[in-house]
Chains A and B, each alone.
Chain A
């Protein structure tokens, strides 16, 4: 049973426009959410995170929104740039222990010129 779901395997966006990546979760114990970016043949790199006590967190071109009632979060990238083309993983943690992160399957973002 998948606790973190990214229902779009891929997303194509024009350069300069907004990219919106979505993530849903089922475990109500999750209280911390992260987005990781991964290029081919490299390890994931941390992008941005949000605690369940917030509904928005911004870092430059990246904003994460959290809707706890809907168990939904989204990552907005504005404006999208060619270097943003990568696989984006949504991850969640219940934070209560050291059980690591639960990852979604990832969304492959393709930025078209």
Chain B
């Protein structure tokens, strides 16, 4: 597609429920990233995929959070036993090459706004 696509755009869920957020990166982009942004803060790194594998998942806050990218394209961020503190915008981004390539840039999707009530 033309840009990074994320679904759902908005999600309201009850505390304790399970949530899945989907990301479809720009066609041909090998690197995919998940970030989380709370109100008044900059995006906070969660996980980075190069191809199908998670190259860096050290930003995931705890074991309730998990992400997959089984075919190296679409990715799903999964949150178990949601808590009110999980409420944030979850941003997916992609880049053509790994971020460590100088000047290689990442492009963000519109985000999934998650509200846990």
Query: Do A and B bind?
Result: no
Residues of chain B having any CB pair with chain A under 8 Å:
none
